Amino acid sequence: MLDGAKRWIGGADTADLIAVFARDTATDLIRAFLVERTAPGLRLETMRGKVSLRPMQNMQVTLENVRVPDDARLGRVNGWADVARLLRAMRSDVAWIATGLQAGALEAAIAYVQHREQFGRPLASFALVQEKLARMLGNLTASLGLVVQLSIRQDAGDYRDENSALAKMWTALHARETAALGRELLGGNGLLLEHDAARFFADAEAVYSYEGTHEITSLIVGRALTGHSAFL
């Protein structure tokens, strides 16, 4: 029997099966279950008003006395350590998203400053504009190097919490700055969706928050560096 609720579940409205992590009241361990989207007692509500990542529909999933058979339980998930194994790979995906976001922000900014003119000159010819573009490229290049090395290690079978956490922490933090610089270069036009900068700016805020906040990923890295856990 499953009871509870979880927000921000992407694609739940189209999935045939929804993976649900729940605490076993008998053992206090985390378990995982595959629940049919149409199961009695399961309710889906679309979250409205998002300002970013709008192509993905996020849902609130509510479970009230949802019965699942024992064969719907994933046998290899028997605690938080098993859930953490999944997060190692998922955080890697988000680090790539944060890196690609920076590439898009840089491309949009370059395209704009090349054709936009002030005082009879393209914005691209101004020194401070070029300085901001260079910082954006630096952030992107560093992020790309980090995620490529992470993927190489994972392809070799080396999966570590601290590596995925570091990649997510770094790329998401710098995606925020890169997107902000790109928006800044467009001035007021950076607030218009037609120039893309606003979309990258809003998406960077979402990427910064999910699959482990900056603070949580930092503590995972810190634990690996020091051997001491700051988690209570």
Residue 227 corresponds to which tokens in the numbers above? Answer: 């051997």
Of 7-16, 43-52, 79-88, 136-145, the range with the lowest mean pLDDT is 79-88
The pLDDT of residue 89 is above 80 = no
Contact 74, 33 (CB under 8 A): yes
Do the beta carbons of residue 32 and residue 21 sit within 8 Å?
Answer: yes
Q: Which domains are seen in the chain, by residue range?
A: 2-72 (2.40.110.10), 80-226 (1.20.140.10)
User: Alpha-carbon distance 79 to 183, whole Å?
Assistant: 43
pLDDT higher than threshold 90 for residue 127? yes
Decide if pLDDT at 8 tops 90. Answer: no
Grade residue 11 by pLDDT with cuts at 50, 70 and 90: confident
Rounded-to-integer distance, Cα 100 and Cα 107, Å: 11
Rg (CA), the chain: 21
Confidence of residue 131 (pLDDT cuts 50, 70, 90): very high
What does pTM read for this prediction? 0.85
Total residues found in the chain within this entry:
232
Whole-angstrom distance, CA of residue 207 vs CA of residue 184: 19
The catalytic site residues sit at: 211
Confidence bin at 156 (pLDDT 50/70/90): very high
Q: What is the mean pLDDT of residues 207-217?
A: 91
Residue 181: predicted pLDDT: 97
Describe the chain by its helix, strand, coil percentages, rounded to 5.
Answer: 55, 20, 25
pLDDT of residue 141: 98
Averaged pLDDT of the chain: 92
pLDDT of residue 99: 97
Q: Is the pLDDT of residue 90 over 80?
A: no
Inter-CA distances, 205 with 48, 59, 83, 95, 198, Å:
17, 19, 25, 13, 11
Token pair for residue 39?
């199961």
The closest alpha carbon to 166, from 145, 181, 138, 136, belongs to: 145
Residue 155: strand, helix, or coil:
helix
Average pLDDT over residues 69-88: 83
Residue 85: pLDDT band (50, 70, 90) is: confident
How does residue 26 score in pLDDT terms, banded at 50, 70 and 90? confident
